[in-house]
Amino acid sequence: MADRYLRFTRTAPGRFLTRRLGLPQPVALHRWSAERPTLGGPLLHLTAGRSTLDLPPVLARTGLAAGAERPAAIVLDATGVRDVEALAEVHAALHPVVRSVAESGRVVVLGSPPDPTDHHQAAVQQALEGFTRSLGKETGRGRTVTLVRLADAEAAESTLRFLLSPRSAYVSGQVVEVGSGDVIVPEDWARPLAGRIALVTGAARGIGEAVARTLARDGAHVVCLDVPAAEADARRVAESIGGTALTLDITADDAGARIADALPERLDVLVHNAGITRDRTLANMAAERWGSVLEVNLASVLRTTDVLLARGVLRGHGSPEEGPGGGGRIVVTSSIAGIAGNVGQTNYAASKAGVIGLVRALAPRAQAEHGVTVNAVAPGFIETRMTAAVPLFVREAGRRMNSLGQGGLPVDVAETVAWLSGPGSGAVNGQVVRVCGQSLLGA
């Protein structure tokens, strides 16, 4: 359903009225397209503290170059900030220039992992999180602000490319930690998934369809999995992207084995997207409504993941004959409801919070034992057929209650999944990235 308010605020009467009444003034976000693949402006690189990162070569490869005109993005390297006095350099660096960032621009703050042996350094590096989240709520005009904690600039190239591009249009106020891992530089950054096989559950429509199309755009052969009732739609999507359709009930006990049998060679990327809602307040929720949501959204994810890892179908390393290697990827769809909760969704919120628990516990072990990273995306209000059915005033509140003042699109989730799925993202593990425009609840 079209966002009529967003269109109204782009007219002269709309701008005048919303300004006078103090109403949100969202802007049309610059999302990736073949015609406009970059932010289209210069990058301003600033430093606070004494950094040891060699950033210029990595930043030069993001597609943004230094320039004198209004910056499309600012990168502030604050990895060397170790005491409260050095925090003043963060203010001094950004204070004069933050207003100059172009509409739909980016501010990326780079920090270091908090050092448990140095409580002064840990305190000021944690301070950067509060700073970043607050700045994201101040900038307006479609600008986003993100904090990246890292120790190695090269390992963070995939992340910086994503955050400094139109692909991250609906990701703001987030903290991403880049550790160590199997990072492979793609031969072609425009098709980083070339030669890889990805499976997307719930791929017949909505967010799942957008994920399948985006992974295919990036070069993957995509297996589009959905329930038998959605076979026609699953085949339609698969045929349009040169992929393969696979229909089965993901909650069946043998679902994992059937997926493994259908992918005898290997699987490089597993995207758990299938999910359902059965909303009621707890006092009015029948056991069937509770159980069905937990079964689809959480239990099936646990079972199929266990089977695919145990059978070695999903793996991060292989011979050249077995595939490109470079790390296997699991990306699971959580929700902002799993972080902040939601009225009438105790079942759904429990399932999506459970997904976060899965990611945090499995990620280090899967990486160490299988060479596979495990991450989650947590969408906020995304414009889908499901949200179009929400009552008008609730829908409008969902759209406006974030720093960007509008709902996201399925492609916003898909772009985030594609970043986490790439071979260059092997150092991003155990992360839960909210794709919510910096929701004012839980983010």
User: Residues with catalytic annotation?
Assistant: 348
Query: CB atoms < 10 A from the CB of 310, how many?
Result: 12
CA distances from 348 to 276, 336, 362 (A): 8, 11, 21
Q: Which helix (H) or strand (E) holds 128?
A: helix 119-136
H helix runs in 222-336, sequence order: 231-241, 255-262, 287-294, 300-310
Q: Which helix (H) or strand (E) holds 375?
A: strand 372-379
Our CA dihedral for 304, 421, 146, 128, rounded to 10 degrees, sits at 70
Task: Give which of 239, 213, 238 is closest to 225, Cα–Cα.
Answer: 238
Contact 173, 136 (CB under 8 A): yes
Contact 194, 222 (CB under 8 A): no
Q: How far is residue 81's CA from residue 150's CA, in Å, rounded to a whole number?
A: 13
CA distances from 181 to 191, 194, 319, 336 (A): 21, 20, 18, 27
Burial class (CB in 10 A: 0-12, 13-18, 19+), 317: middle
Residue 356's SS3 state is helix
Query: Running DSSP on this structure, what letter comes out for residue 202?
Result: T
* Cross-strand bridge partners of residue 345: 280
Q: How far is residue 280's CA from residue 436's CA, in Å, rounded to a whole number?
A: 23
Contact 273, 352 (CB under 8 A): no
